Amino acid sequence: MRYLLLAAAALAFAGCASSPPRNDRLESARTEVQSLAQDPLTPQAASQDLEAARDRLQQADTALANKRPPEEVDHLAYLAQRHAEAGAARVDAARAKQDVARATEERNRVLLEARAREADAAKQKLAATQAQLAELQAKQTNRGMVVTLSGVLFDTGRATLKPGAELTLDRLATMLKQNANARVMVDGFTDNTGSPEFNQTLSQQRADAVAAALISRGVSAERVRATGRGEEYPVATNSTAAGRQQNRRVEIVLSDANGRFAQAEDMTPR
């Protein structure tokens, strides 16, 4: 039994003697080098730092195994750790750069999608406006798009709108409310029944009646200007009742979507 105990103690002593001594700084450096090696960005951002750290770590292991002075082992471990830290800093910088690039790419994607949505909305709005203009039978003139209210709108010598204009005014007001920057010029006309002075006043009253009808439907007064044109600019002969009825009309000149008219005119309310 004594011999067996002595043999076991000898083996244990031999095992301890063959195990390399531990160095805390070296183990700390080893941990940082391993962490750097496991980062997926290291090959492209810090490969040289990793190589240098591994070289110094191997030198420290060799020095420790050869029982070199602890100061030498510590110094080599310190160098390995510093190379690993430098590599980690480069990796962090590369990752931050990637994050910025991804954020910029995402921002650009969001902006492009927003612009695409705005473009689609603008197209849909344009299509809706064109459909509304077609319903209003608007015509392109040198003054811009013009909607003419004619027919049985007014009796001779009167400025009271008849019910026949209601649907057109409803549609026109709806279109203007959907195009918040658009403006209108409302021009009133008469036939030649009566004096020119009377007809001038009557045409202004007719223009005012149409403007008031639009405003009552929710169109801002600042977007509407009414002007009387008198008996000038007839569109039909005044020698027949049918012709005079056509001349008793109101023309509504539409601006573009930004409030500009084809021909610049004073928008000061009268």
pLDDT score of 8: 52
Lowest mean pLDDT among 127-131, 164-168, 260-264: 260-264
Q: What is the pLDDT of residues 160-183, one digit of tens each?
A: 888 888 888 999 999 999 999 999
- Nearest residue to 254 (alpha-carbon basis) of 122, 161, 139, 165: 139
Q: What percent of the chain has pLDDT over 90?
A: 73
Tell me the backbone φ, ψ of residue 142, rounded to 5 degrees.
Answer: -70, -10
pLDDT score of 19: 56
- Sheet arrangement for strand 184-188: 139-141, 144-149, 250-254, 184-188, 224-228
pLDDT score of 149: 86
Mean pLDDT, the chain, integer: 89
pLDDT band (50, 70, 90) for residue 155: confident
Q: What is the pLDDT of residues 43-86, one digit of tens each?
A: 999 999 999 999 999 999 999 999 999 999 999 999 999 999 99
For domain 136-254, the CATH superfamily is OmpA-like domain (3.30.1330.60)
119 membership: H or E segment, kind and range: helix 70-135
Is the pLDDT assigned to residue 91 strictly greater than 80? yes
Lowest mean pLDDT among 41-45, 96-100, 127-131, 185-189: 127-131
pLDDT score of 3: 57
Helix (H/G/I), strand (E/B), else coil: 39: coil
User: Taking the model in full, what pTM does it have?
Assistant: 0.60
pLDDT band (50, 70, 90) for residue 125: confident
Name, in order, each residue with C-beta under 8 angstroms of 181's C-beta and a sequence gap of 6 or more. 257, 258, 259
